[in-house]
Chains A and B, each alone.
Chain A
Amino acid sequence: MVGFIEPVGTSFQSAMAERTAVKMIMVMSSDLFSRQIFLNRSRPLHSFMVGWTEFLRFRSRGRQTGPLSKSFVSGLFYGLYATKLLIVIYLSFFDKKSLTNTIYGFILCAMNVNEISPNANPRLSRIKKLSRSLKVVFLFYFVVLGLVLIVSHGQIAVKMPIQVGGQNFSSLREIPAVLKTYEAICFCLYLLAVIAFYRLLNLYEKGIIFSAENVSQIRRLGQLAVFYGVLSACLPVFETPYVKFPLTLPLNILCSPGFMVGCLTIIIAWVMDEGRKIQEEQELTV
Chain B
Amino acid sequence: MKNYQNKANIVRVSKIIRYILFAGLVVWIIGIPVVLIPIVAMWSRAVPASRYLQCGTPLTMAMCLIVNLKLFRFFDRLKNGHLFDAQTVGNLDNAGRWWVALWFFETLFFGISHTFIQFTNANPLDFGSGLFAGLTLIFVAWLLKEAQELQQEQELTV
Residues of chain A whose beta carbon lies under 8 Å from any beta carbon of chain B = 15-16, 19, 22-23, 26, 114, 116, 123-124, 126-127, 130, 209-210, 254, 260, 263-264, 266-268, 270-275, 277-279, 281-282, 285
Contact = CB atoms under 8 A, between A and B. Distances in A.
B115 interface: no
A268 B150 contact: no
Contacts of A209: 143, 146
A275 B84 contact: yes
Contacts of B97: none
A274 B6 contact: yes
A254 B20 CA distance: 9
A260 to B, nearest CB: 7
B146 A281 contact: no
Contacts of B16: 263
B14 A275 contact: no
Nearest first, the 4 closest Cβ-Cβ pairs linking A and B are A275-B147, A270-B6, A15-B158, A278-B150
Contacts of A127: 139, 142-143, 146
B63 interface: no
A270 B7 CA distance: 9
B126 interface: no
A79 to B, nearest CB: 27
Given A19-B156, A23-B156, A279 B143 contact: no
A271 B144 contact: yes
B86 to A, nearest CB: 9
B157 interface: yes
A267 B147 contact: no
A121 B61 CA distance: 38
Nearest to B145: A123
Could you say which of A23, A123, A274 has the most chain B C-beta atoms within 10 Å of its C-beta? A274
Contacts of A19: 156-158
B17 A274 contact: no
Nearest to A11: B158
Contacts of B154: 278, 281-282, 285
B13 A267 contact: yes
Given A19-B157, A209-B146, A266 B20 contact: no
Contacts of A26: 152
Given A267-B13, A270-B6, A282 B157 contact: yes
B12 to A, nearest CB: 10
Could you say which of A209, A264, A285 has the most chain B C-beta atoms within 10 Å of its C-beta? A264
Contact of B14 (A15, A210, A267): A267
21 contacts: A19-B158, A23-B156, A123-B142, A127-B139, A127-B142, A210-B150, A254-B20, A260-B17, A260-B20, A264-B17, A267-B10, A267-B78, A271-B6, A271-B83, A273-B6, A274-B5, A274-B147, A275-B84, A275-B146, A282-B157, A285-B154
Contacts of B20: 254, 260
Interface string B77-115: 010000110000000000000000000000000000000
Contacts of B5: 274, 277
B151 interface: yes
B57 interface: no
A273 B59 CA distance: 38
A272 B147 contact: yes
Contact of A275 (B150, B156, B158): B150
Contacts of A23: 153, 156
A260 B145 CA distance: 23
A260 B152 CA distance: 31
A264 B71 CA distance: 10
B62 interface: no
A278 B151 contact: yes
Contacts of B157: 19, 114, 282, 285
Interface in B53-80: 78
Interface in B1-26: 4-6, 9-10, 13-14, 16-17, 20
Nearest to B150: A278
